Chain A
Amino acid sequence: MSGVPARRSMLSGDRVNRIHWIPGTDQLRAVCHCSAERDFEDPVQLWEWLLSHPDGHDTPPPTVRDVAPSSDRRQEVTIP
């Protein structure tokens, strides 16, 4: 079988934010409802970016990773 499409979507509202865990990687891809996209390694930074819409959402998807590749050192976060 063809396998499940990595970019499937379930909800269909006008203001849906999507986050895909990119198969075979540790990366998360955030897709804002404005269709801006960006890849992250840290879900907390990812949510900060999504919620800052429209700030920083008009730039094309970056080609470099947003977080330095030394990814074993994950960031500690505080429950807001």
Chain B
Amino acid sequence: MIGIPRDQWYVAAYSSEIGQELFSRTICSEPILFWRTRSGQVTAVSDRCVHRRFPLSQSPSRLVDDQVVCGYHGFTYGPDGKCTAVPGQTRIPRTARLQPYPLVEQDSLVWVFIGDPAKADAASIPRAPYLDSPGYTTVAGMEPLKARFSLLVDNLLDLSHETYLHGGYIGTPEVAATPITTEVDEDAGVVHVSRHMDDAECPPFYAKSTGLQGRISRWQDIEYTPPCLYKLHSRIAPVGSVPNPDGSDPDAFHVEVVYAITPETEHSTHDFWAVARDFALDDQEVSDFLAENNRTVVLQDVTALEILERVVATEPEGYQELSINIDTGGLAARRMLKRIGAQQQSVPARS
């Protein structure tokens, strides 16, 4: 089993999820408390009071002027996690501090660093600029997945499953039938899987959103930066159309499908998904259609992966599998996950 890599950045939430109230989410088995201060900064600290471990996200704990007051005995903490008041005495124990997490908010995502904070390098966070770019319209969601994150990585790195699991939505026969090219950049930590279908059936997901009729050129270029961020650059165009040599691509529709694969625990995952498009920007009907359809597709995966999790969880380590050509990208991703897992100091997983 591929363990949860530590000393890594993970998406904890969408920016829009965190306002001036207490918000809690477990990331890599660590319960984390978030809120947005009055100056607009998002803060992330441990969601366990240092006194008797009452969850600070739980009522009657509350936020008072950018300080969180524990609902059990009143320990009070600032946005940096430092305790500012304890009940009945003036001396505040020196160790009274909630563990703060390095945090970066960008591209409409809130990233936290899980592991040794000294190793947190914000510049290493992969970007998804289209998620909050004016040139795109984005729909997004998050589904809880009761399966280990590596099963979702396998799933997303091999899109041939679209043909079977997502037929009638995004799957057509050509997806499973078209050869892929896989590239792995060891230094940059990127797995790229490319499938270019030059004459393919247009699945409803794209026919209804783009209005293209008949057969299409459909390119899928996956860019996965383990462990968390997965981007699928999807290009839909009339058959025969290719981008211009200068990179412009006026006849094509571009859909950037972004997933953030964030472990909640060893056996559960936050399945963040977003679909950003560069066409029909103001068309609410297209937004509603893409949101509804992508969510349906994500839930088809969730259902299948939860079944799979129950199966593999009961099997002994080292169960038998059979890998074929379509798995080349998935094998590359697993290998890179194991490599970054091996680099870190191994810390026993909490549960």
The tally of residues in B whose CB lies under 8 Å from a CB in A reads 34
Residue in contact with A19 in the complex, picked from B183, B188, B323, CB distance below 8 Å: B183
**In the complex, which residues of chain A have a beta carbon less than 8 angstroms from the beta carbon of B323?**
42-44, 77
Are A46 and B185 CB-contacts (below 8 A) given A10-B221, A11-B192, A76-B322? no
Are A79 and B321 CB-contacts (below 8 A) given A13-B188, A15-B186, A19-B328? yes
Q: Which B278-323 residues have a C-beta within 8 angstroms of A?
A: 318-323
Q: B212 in the interface, Cβ–Cβ < 8 Å?
A: no
Are A46 and B328 CB-contacts (below 8 A) given A1-B240, A20-B181, A23-B179? yes
**In the complex, which residues of chain A have a beta carbon less than 8 angstroms from the beta carbon of B73?**
none
A-side interface size class: 35 or more
Q: B163 in the interface, Cβ–Cβ < 8 Å?
A: no
Contact indicator A77/B322 (Cβ below 8 Å): yes
| Whole-angstrom distance between the Cβ of B110 and the nearest chain A Cβ | 28
Q: B84 in the interface, Cβ–Cβ < 8 Å?
A: no
Q: Which A28-57 residues have a C-beta within 8 angstroms of B?
A: 28, 33, 42-44, 46-47, 51
Residue in contact with B335 in the complex, picked from A8, A23, A47, CB distance below 8 Å: A47
CA separation between A79 and B242, bound complex, in Å?
39
A interface footprint on B165-198 (CB within 8 Å = 1, 0 otherwise): 0000000000000011111111110101010101
CA separation between A15 and B109, bound complex, in Å?
30
Q: Report which A residues bind B (CB closer than 8 A).
A: 1, 3-4, 6, 8-11, 13-23, 26, 28, 33, 42-44, 46-47, 51, 74-80
8 A-B contact pairs sorted by A residue (CB < 8 Å): A8-B194, A17-B184, A18-B184, A43-B324, A44-B323, A76-B320, A76-B322, A78-B321
